[in-house]
Chains A and B, each alone.
Chain A
Amino acid sequence: MNKALGTGMKNTQWFLPSTPSFPCSWDRSCQCNSSSCLKVPIFCLVKIVDILEQFLREGGLSALMWEVCQQQAQAASPELQETLLNKVVCLPDHLSNKLQGENLPIFLPQNYFPLLGTEIIQVLQRISDSLRGGLDCSISFVSQVLGKVCVHGRRKEILSTLVPCLTDLTKSDCIWQRMCWRLVECVPDRWMEAVVCGFVQTAPGADVLSRLLGNLVVKNKKAQFVVTQKLLLLQYSCPTAMLQNLLGYLALDNSRRFLLLKVLQELMETWASSSAVKHSPVEQQLYISKAILICLSHLKDVEIDSHRQELFTCMMEGMKCHLDSNLPRIRCLGMIVAESISSRINTDGPILKFQYEEDDETRELKSLLTQMLSPPSVISPLDEGRKDSPSAVTEAELKPGRKPLAAACAVSEEGSDSELDSDDDFIPYDMSADKELKKTKAPLYIRDCIEVLTGPEDMDKWEATMRVLETLIQRNTAATQEVSVELAKVLLHLEEKTYIDDFVELRQKALVTVTITDPIPVAQYLTSQFYSMNYSLRQRMDILDVLALAAQELSRPKAPGKNKPSSIQTPCIQILPGSDSSKDWRKIVDERIKSKTRRFAKGQSQVELVCAPNKFSSVAGHFFFPLIQNFDRPLVTFDLLGDDHFVLGRLAHTLAILLYFAVNTVVAAAMGKALLEFVWALRFHTDSYVRQGLLSCISSTLLSVPSDRLLEDVTEELVETQAWLADAVEGILLLPQMQ
């Protein structure tokens, strides 16, 4: 029997069309496979699997598809085609369901679909042969197979074999090019998106993509929608190389360039919309910025000339709403995009120039504008997979660590080199005493410091005073208390008369130390100044920072003899310059080292915790209540509920921090109640930073106020808050569905 089958299969036309009923019977057997597996005798099953395997190995699939293509040209039954399509695409699913553990490798999706890909190429080859021979052939069945495979989520497997072959074949052959275009065009609309996305993702470059897809975007509405809207505006997951492919494809042919302009226009509208800036995630904004920069790099001068005014208007608007943002990253994005646009539209006039910190992201963005299609960016699925794998991440993270080590090696080598060379064997003396010379003596008394800081300008003395102030205050508590408010006032109004590297830090430390030394009067002074006229936003935020840091210091237990506070850590609030991701790698590496280090020490190695009264408990009210009182009373120069929402966000965070440090104190319950009311009043604030602050307010209330007091005193507020949070969560859950 086997032999007979084998000989039969050599003749590839053995079942079609001479045995038209065969597919149906096969169909039945498959259905039987999937539905009632136990009923089929085991030897029968083995046989069938055997036959199927042989069928696949001997190129049965291409023969099958070729038959259908031929038939199609003569109009065959759609039902048959539908069934065949189903079987071809779903074969791995059926078989794995049926065979469970005993599945053969050839039926596994990762093997089957690449095979299907090569079979498709075979079919296309035959079609091209017959076209050359003058015979008409329909390609639509192959398109359907491709579309269905892609929509079933196997586009990586099938396109990874299909696209390289097609890339090669279409290089110089126009019949192949036409066939390829036709192949994609004939994909039914409902599967078009998956196919187009797959091609954009797998094509090694914009030129190849253009060769494979032709003018698909112009001819097919669905493809146009996917390319111009869906991939750019409705999602943001594509890697940069894919964006470059996509936009490069639009730019390559003159008949598609109007789409590039349309896309740019829509991207710019989104970029310049203040609501989008406020409400869409940073990643999406980064994505849109990238797309804009790539579009700009493709634009020709003539096109820019005709759209200069529109670009300019959009740029001004977008710049405004980006610079308004509270998030440093978004501000930075805005600056880069605006700079790029202005450099493109102003050919001779002055161009925009912003100051921002250079990092990997800004460099990448800027490079997008300059690289014109030049590097054919290959993203094979293999690469992409590696990108996500943890090993790649470790490598990237370890790299910055390695560099300094290498540098150190080089230095030491150089050093030893010169040591060997030198024949004058004078041994150097210790030169550690060679320090920078300080000309002026720092003042020794607090009052002298005030005099120096307010007095006539003597820069050296002023700098020396700034450097010594913190220690002086710590040393002379009594003397400081006499002048604490005056000193706080001087420090608060202090301006950087001359450049000192860490002026901001020195001033902040001094202010914090004054506040710790004499908490009540200084806190009263600072909180009253927070709501008074004639302060800059910077000063107001300094006040908040100082209060938070002082609260932290006061609440921290100290050893009785040790009066000196250890190095002040930055509070858990977002400090202005923004997050610095490059520092995180060290933390990760340290943790990894820690996790792999074995320690052999026995017994208790931990130092006994110091017990001391919470000094903050008696003064917490003075810090907290004056701050929370007046937030709804706008001044001429300061409107917390209006434009100055950034300070409001900081205020919310600071209040949360103050309450957090007031844990276990009597006043915490009252503070918690006040804070929940504050949250209630602001819960629908439009700015996300403010809302974040409110969330941290709620968290710190829940952490700091004892639960019985929570339930007794603030039940109502708590219930309201809970309702608000529940609504908010529901809203978040609903959001993707609404999209």
Chain B
Amino acid sequence: MIAAMALPPPDPEFVLRGTAAPVHTLHFSCRGQEPEFPILFSGSANGLVQIWNLKTHRVDKTMDGHGGKSVYWVETIHGRDGLLSQGRDQKICLWDLAEGRNVVTDSISVDSVGFCRCSLLKVAQDRWLIAMPANDPDEVQVLELPSKTSVCTLKPEAGAKLGMPMCLKLWQPGFGACPFLMAGYEDGSVILWNLSMGKMLSRLACHQEPVMSLDFDSEKAKGVSGSSEKVLSVWSLDEQQNLKVHKTHELINSGISDVTIRQDRKILATAGWDYHIRIFGWKKVKPLAVLDYHTATVHCVAFSDHSRPSERLLAAGSNDQRISIWSLYNQT
């Protein structure tokens, strides 16, 4: 079986066209019951957030709330009745989508002008934490939603020379436990923050270049990060809450703009500057596939949250203004 010729890589299931601008962020919402249909939110460089119907492959709604400035993070809140979108106009908008509405009900202004995407974590019923870059270039601020009260500001010690935060990931070891934050910084290091004490727990310099994206698997206490270099770095968190490099994987071309672990923790996907989407097995970081469809930098990858594993999808948005949808490794 091993000796058999490897299969050629698959083609996309379908392609969504019509954003008319580079796609910077994607977010699925597929858990809804019938008659609700699976949808995909996309945020693009022209400031529009679009809602794609994955049954018809058409845009259901187009929402303009960022004044034409690029949208680079979207996330649902309250099921699919609410949506958060972060734009380059230094605003995070809260959309009310319930009952067919699409209006901005609230917004948080962000002082940072970086590219750092926010991170959202549901800590209780109707209570969320959002981590976002703060006023000071090297600080991260954590707010509670919907009250918008500041929980803490994570400021590195003077002289740490981390640069700006580049990517954030809020997580908690179990529901109700104390939340932590993984943050990747401009100098290439990943830092574990304790939110309740506002204290840095561990720092790992796993890249030479800025960390572009990271994802963390709290069950296996293992995370992965990509930077503008040619390496994908996998690190783990031990019981003493120290980060350690677990493995590095050398890539053919440099630059990873996004990395995501599938919810079932079996595979992970990376979005590459070399126009390729790469799939790895999460356990051993074994390369599984190189998906070649896009003709420009891929900015984001996202896995769908379908409740039935066989329906799960992977979406990738690229600078070539297309969103490709793939169905991979779905047999359980």
> Which of A's residues lie within 8 Å of B, judged by CB?
418-419, 421-424, 426-431, 433-437
Given A433-B292, A437-B274, decide whether A428 and B8 contact each other with a Cβ distance below 8 A. Answer: no
In angstroms, Cα B250 to Cα A434, docked, is 13
Q: Which A residues touch B282, using CB under 8 A?
A: 424
Q: Which B residues touch A431, using CB under 8 A?
A: 6, 9, 287, 289-290
**Contact yes or no, B7 A430, CB < 8 A:** yes
- B249 in the interface, Cβ–Cβ < 8 Å? no
B34: min CB distance to chain A, Å: 31
In angstroms, Cα B203 to Cα A575, docked, is 53
Interface residues of B in 234-292 (CB under 8 A from A): 252-253, 266-267, 274-276, 281-284, 286-290, 292
- B289 nearest CB neighbor, chain A only: A429
A419, A424, A433: the one contacting B9 at CB < 8 Å is A433
**Contact yes or no, A422 B284, CB < 8 A:** yes
B329: min CB distance to chain A, Å: 5
- B2 in the interface, Cβ–Cβ < 8 Å? yes
- B10 in the interface, Cβ–Cβ < 8 Å? yes
**Contact yes or no, A434 B276, CB < 8 A:** yes
**Contact yes or no, A428 B283, CB < 8 A:** no
A365: min CB distance to chain B, Å: 37
Interface residues of B in 53-95 (CB under 8 A from A): none
Q: Which B residues touch A436, using CB under 8 A?
A: 252-253
In angstroms, Cα B281 to Cα A423, docked, is 10
B167: min CB distance to chain A, Å: 23
In angstroms, Cα B6 to Cα A602, docked, is 38
A10: min CB distance to chain B, Å: 82
**Contact yes or no, B288 A433, CB < 8 A:** no
B6, B266, B275: the one contacting A428 at CB < 8 Å is B6
Count the B residues whose beta carbon is within 8 Å of the partner chain — how many?
25
Residue interface bits B288-302, CB-to-A below 8 A is 1, else 0: 111010000000000
Q: Which A residues touch B287, using CB under 8 A?
A: 428, 431
In angstroms, Cα B275 to Cα A309, docked, is 65
A422: min CB distance to chain B, Å: 6
Query: Given A426-B266, A431-B6, A435-B252, 10 more contacts at CB 8 Å?
Result: A418-B284, A422-B283, A422-B286, A428-B286, A428-B287, A429-B7, A429-B288, A430-B5, A434-B252, A434-B290
**Contact yes or no, B329 A426, CB < 8 A:** yes
Closest 3 pairs between A and B when the two form their complex, measured CB to CB: A430-B6, A437-B274, A429-B289
Q: Which B residues touch A434, using CB under 8 A?
A: 252, 276, 290
- B7 nearest CB neighbor, chain A only: A429
In angstroms, Cα B283 to Cα A721, docked, is 78
**Contact yes or no, B8 A430, CB < 8 A:** yes
Q: Is the interface of A mostly helix, strand, loop or mixed?
A: loop
In angstroms, Cα B292 to Cα A435, docked, is 11
In angstroms, Cα B289 to Cα A390, docked, is 52
A424, A429, A437: the one contacting B275 at CB < 8 Å is A437
Interface residues of B in 279-330 (CB under 8 A from A): 281-284, 286-290, 292, 329
- A418 nearest CB neighbor, chain B only: B284
- B283 nearest CB neighbor, chain A only: A424
**Contact yes or no, B8 A429, CB < 8 A:** yes
Q: Which B residues touch A422, using CB under 8 A?
A: 281, 283-284, 286
In angstroms, Cα B275 to Cα A423, docked, is 30
B50: min CB distance to chain A, Å: 29
In angstroms, Cα B267 to Cα A435, docked, is 22
Q: Which B residues touch A437, using CB under 8 A?
A: 252-253, 274-275
In angstroms, Cα B274 to Cα A423, docked, is 30
Given A419-B2, A434-B252, A437-B274, decide whether A426 and B288 contact each other with a Cβ distance below 8 A. Answer: yes
30 contacts between A and B (CB under 8 A): A418-B284, A419-B2, A421-B284, A422-B281, A422-B283, A422-B284, A424-B281, A426-B281, A426-B288, A426-B329, A427-B6, A427-B7, A428-B286, A428-B287, A428-B288, A429-B6, A429-B10, A429-B289, A429-B290, A430-B6, A430-B8, A430-B9, A431-B9, A431-B289, A433-B290, A434-B252, A436-B252, A437-B252, A437-B274, A437-B275
In angstroms, Cα B5 to Cα A430, docked, is 8
Q: Which B residues touch A426, using CB under 8 A?
A: 266-267, 281, 286, 288, 329
Interface residues of B in 95-127 (CB under 8 A from A): none
- A435 nearest CB neighbor, chain B only: B252
In angstroms, Cα B252 to Cα A626, docked, is 50
Q: Which B residues touch A428, using CB under 8 A?
A: 6, 286-289
A522: min CB distance to chain B, Å: 39
**Contact yes or no, B252 A429, CB < 8 A:** no
**Contact yes or no, A429 B9, CB < 8 A:** yes
In angstroms, Cα B275 to Cα A433, docked, is 12
Q: Which B residues touch A435, using CB under 8 A?
A: 252
- A422 nearest CB neighbor, chain B only: B284
In angstroms, Cα B276 to Cα A437, docked, is 10
- A416 nearest CB neighbor, chain B only: B2
Q: Which B residues touch A430, using CB under 8 A?
A: 5-9
B58: min CB distance to chain A, Å: 30
In angstroms, Cα B101 to Cα A432, docked, is 48
Q: Which B residues touch A427, using CB under 8 A?
A: 6-7, 288
In angstroms, Cα B9 to Cα A107, docked, is 81
In angstroms, Cα B10 to Cα A427, docked, is 13
In angstroms, Cα B290 to Cα A469, docked, is 30
Q: Which A residues touch B10, using CB under 8 A?
A: 429
In angstroms, Cα B6 to Cα A9, docked, is 89
- B292 nearest CB neighbor, chain A only: A433
Residue interface bits B1-18, CB-to-A below 8 A is 1, else 0: 010011111100000000
* Best-surrounded residue of A422, A424, A433 (most CB of chain B within 10 A): A424
Q: Which A residues touch B276, using CB under 8 A?
A: 434
In angstroms, Cα B281 to Cα A15, docked, is 97
- B9 nearest CB neighbor, chain A only: A429
Q: Which A residues touch B281, using CB under 8 A?
A: 422, 424, 426
In angstroms, Cα B329 to Cα A434, docked, is 20
In angstroms, Cα B285 to Cα A418, docked, is 11
B158: min CB distance to chain A, Å: 40
In angstroms, Cα B230 to Cα A522, docked, is 44
In angstroms, Cα B282 to Cα A424, docked, is 9
**Contact yes or no, A424 B289, CB < 8 A:** no
Q: Which A residues touch B253, using CB under 8 A?
A: 436-437
B277: min CB distance to chain A, Å: 11
In angstroms, Cα B9 to Cα A422, docked, is 21
In angstroms, Cα B171 to Cα A368, docked, is 62
B240: min CB distance to chain A, Å: 27
In angstroms, Cα B6 to Cα A422, docked, is 18
In angstroms, Cα B284 to Cα A431, docked, is 17
- A423 nearest CB neighbor, chain B only: B283
Q: Which B residues touch A421, using CB under 8 A?
A: 284
* Best-surrounded residue of A419, A421, A428 (most CB of chain B within 10 A): A428
Q: Which B residues touch A433, using CB under 8 A?
A: 9, 290, 292
Q: Which B residues touch A419, using CB under 8 A?
A: 2
In angstroms, Cα B281 to Cα A421, docked, is 13
In angstroms, Cα B8 to Cα A436, docked, is 19
Q: Which A residues touch B5, using CB under 8 A?
A: 430
In angstroms, Cα B331 to Cα A677, docked, is 83
- B252 nearest CB neighbor, chain A only: A434
In angstroms, Cα B292 to Cα A424, docked, is 24
B262: min CB distance to chain A, Å: 11
B5: min CB distance to chain A, Å: 8
Q: Which B residues touch A424, using CB under 8 A?
A: 266, 281-284
* Best-surrounded residue of A424, A426, A427, A436 (most CB of chain B within 10 A): A426
